[in-house]
Amino acid sequence: MTGADDIEAARRLVDAAQRVVVLTGAGISTESGIPDFRGPRGVWTRNPAAEKQSTIQNYLAEPEVRKAAWRSRLDSPAWRAEPNAGHRALVALERRGKLHALVTQNIDELHQRAGQSPELVVEVHGSMRRVMCWECGRRAPMEEALARVRAGEDDPHCRDCSGILKSDTISFGQALVPEVIDRALNAAAEADLLLAVGTTLQVQPVASMVPIAARAGARIVIVNDQPTAMDALADAIVREPIGEVLTAICAAKGP
Ligand SMILES: [Zn+2]
C-alpha cells in the first residue's frame, strides 16, 4: 500500500530533476480503454489465436492469418481511444522543460496525440497507426490501408512492390530495431531521474533502462499498480491510479 507520502516523495524528486526520462508501458493506456495484451485480463491471455495472428512467421506465411488480422484491425477499439490524464501530465512535464526523452512500449501514439513533441518520443515497439511493407520497407499511414480493406481488399499489398503490408509494430518473432533500442538506453544513461510508468519492467532490453539510469546516478520513480522487477532500485514507488498520480507529480505546483 502506498499513499499521499509516496506521491509527495515522487513529486519532490520530479521537482528537483532537470533531465527526466520517462518509460511508459501498457498501464498508462488502460485508462484510455486500450487493453493490456499480456496482463491477466489481456487479449492474448483470453484469445491465443490473437497471439498467433501477431507472430511474424505466421503472418508472412498464411494469407488467412493476414485476412483475419486486417479484419481485427478494422474493428479495433484502439482507433477511438483518446489520451487520458496520465498522457496529459507528461505533456505538462515537457512544458516545464524537464523532459529529456519519453520511451514507450505502447503502439497507440496516445503520447503524440496528447501533444507530446514527436521528436522526444521513442517508440520501441513501433506504431499501429503506420503500415510498413515487408519487402521494400515503405511506410505509410495505416488509415490508407484500412480504407482499402473497407473498399473490399481482404489482404492489401504494397502499391510500389506488391510486398506484404503489416502494421509498423514489432510482432512476436520480429527483431527490435537496434537504433531505436540504442536511443532508449542512451537516454536512460543521460537521465537525472527515470520515471517508469505502467510497466512491470520484465521485458528486456527496455527494462534495463532502470539499472542503467541508476548506475549513472539518476533517481528512480516507479508508478505501477503491481510490484515490478525493479522495485529494489526505486527511490519512490507509487501504486495509485496512474492518471491521478502523474497529474500530482508532474504538473507544476500552482501559485
Ligand atoms: Zn513495398
Could you report the per-residue pLDDT of 148-165, keeping only the tens digit for each?
A: 999 999 999 999 999 999
> Is the distance from CB of 25 to CB of 103 less than 8 angstroms?
no
Identify the pLDDT of residue 34: 86
- Catalytic residue (choose from 100, 111, 125, 157): 125
pLDDT tens digit sequence for 12-35: 999 999 999 999 999 999 999 887
Asked if 180 contacts 124 with a C-beta cutoff of 8 angstroms, the reply is yes
Q: How far is the CA of 81 from the centre of ligand 1 (A)?
A: 29
**Grid coordinates representing 77?**
477499439
CA of 136 to the centre of ligand 1 (A): 4
For residues 184 and 25, what is the distance between their CA atoms, to the nearest angstrom?
A: 14
Task: Look at residue 109 in the predicted model and tell me its pLDDT.
Answer: 96
Crossing angle for the helix pair 242-250 and 4-16, nearest 10 degrees?
40
Q: Which residues contact 50 (CB under 8 A, 6 or more apart)?
A: 43, 44, 72
Cα(165) to centroid of ligand 1, in Å?
8
What mean pLDDT is predicted for residues 163-177? 93
Whether 108 and 126 have beta carbons less than 8 Å apart is answered as: no
Q: Please state, in angstroms and rounded to a whole number, the distance separating the CA atoms of residues 108 and 127.
A: 6
The pLDDT of residue 1 is: 47
Q: In sequence order, what DSSP letters do the residues of 107-167 get, joined into one string?
A: -S-HHHHHT--GGGEEETTEEEEEEEETTT--EEEHHHHHHHHHTT-SS-B-TTT-PBEEE
CA angle 181, 188, 8 (to 5 degrees): 135
Residue 157 among the catalytic residues? no
β 126-133/139-141 pair status: antiparallel
Please, which pLDDT band fits residue 255 given cuts at 50, 70 and 90? very low
CA of 72 to the centre of ligand 1 (A): 22
Given a contact cutoff of 8 angstroms between Cβ atoms, the answer to whether 83 and 32 are in contact is yes
Which of the four pLDDT bands, split at 50, 70 and 90, describes residue 229?
Answer: very high
Q: Is the pLDDT of residue 51 over 70?
A: no
What residues have their beta carbon closer than 5 A to ion ligand 1? 133, 135-136, 138, 158, 160-161, 163
